[in-house]
Amino acid sequence: MPSITPRKNKDGDIISYTIRVYHGYDSKGKRLKPYTMTYKPAPNMTVKQIEKELNKQAVMFEEQCKQGLLGNNRQKFGAYAEYVINLKEQSGELRHHTVVRYRELLKRVNEGIGHIKLSDIRPQHLNALYEQLSKEGLRRSGTKAILKSSERLNEIISAKGFTNKEIFIREYAGLSCSTYRKAIKGEKIAENSAEKIANALDVNINNWNRTTDLFHLKL
């Protein structure tokens, strides 16, 4: 719910109201600066009319904030992207493993444009970002992953409540069943495929340069 604070003049009379909408925290746990607007009642409005209109304005303003319709020229891309992910997570629109995956991807995107204000982002920024991500993708694509233990993988899948492994691989990890079969046979699979499996199972993927809880990574 928005917070509403009256603003008074030196005589103690209310001249306007400040409406604030808070929208979570950034990736470092610091509370994001709230969206604010000022509502000034028209002259000769009754207390009841002011209260009704003030509540209406607060609801409308909060809805605009949720939908990202505000023209905040000072907000940077990184803060806005984190706000959107938080909003989707709190509303239940995204599964936990999807949120984890988005935040992992956001780290790479923020290296390119996270520091730029939304109003300042231009096509050349996006082109440079695309080129940067493409080069990173080429470096990563040569890395393969080998499953440490098929028994361990199946144990984690079952512990997470997935009784049908093929449905888990297709719908939650977004992979083909052939990739799963290759993995449990001890064959090499693409690094990003191993990452999708780990994300879907909420398994630690903090250090992809060496090893994970489930996979060995090799060039």
**165-181 pLDDT per residue, tens:** 877 887 777 888 888 88
Q: In what order do the strands lie in the sheet with 189-190?
A: 189-190, 144-147, 215-218
Q: How far apart are CA 100 and CA 123, in angstroms?
A: 28
Q: How far apart are CA 14 and CA 150, in angstroms?
A: 69
Reported confidence tier of residue 207, pLDDT bands at 50, 70, 90:
very low
In this structure, of 57-61, 114-118, 142-146, 193-197, the range with the lowest mean pLDDT score is 142-146
Report, as an integer, the average pLDDT of 194-199.
80
Could you state, in order of their start, the residue ranges of all structural domains in the chain?
3-66, 77-141, 144-218
Reported confidence tier of residue 52, pLDDT bands at 50, 70, 90:
very high
Chain Cα centroid distance, residue 30: 15
Q: How far apart are CA 168 and CA 198, in angstroms?
A: 12
Angle 66-69-73 (CA atoms, 0-180°, nearest 5)? Answer: 115
Q: Is 28 helix (H, G, I), strand (E, B) or coil?
A: coil
Residue in 6, 71, 7, 8 with CA at minimum distance from that of residue 35: 71
Reported confidence tier of residue 218, pLDDT bands at 50, 70, 90:
low
Question: 134 near 145, Cβ under 8 Å?
Answer: no
Q: How far apart are CA 186 and CA 206, in angstroms?
A: 22
Q: What is the pTM of this model?
A: 0.40
Residues forming a β-bridge with 189: 145
Tokens 């928005």, residue located = 2
Alpha-helix runs per DSSP H in 67-190: 77-91, 96-113, 123-141, 150-159, 165-167, 177-184
Please give the pLDDT value at position 82: 84
Res. 6: pLDDT tops 90? yes
**210 contact partners, CB below 8 Å, separation of at least 6:** 217
Q: What value does the mean pLDDT of the chain take?
A: 78
Q: How many CA atoms lie within 13 A of 2 on its CB side?
A: 24
The domain 144-218: what is its CATH number?
1.10.260.40
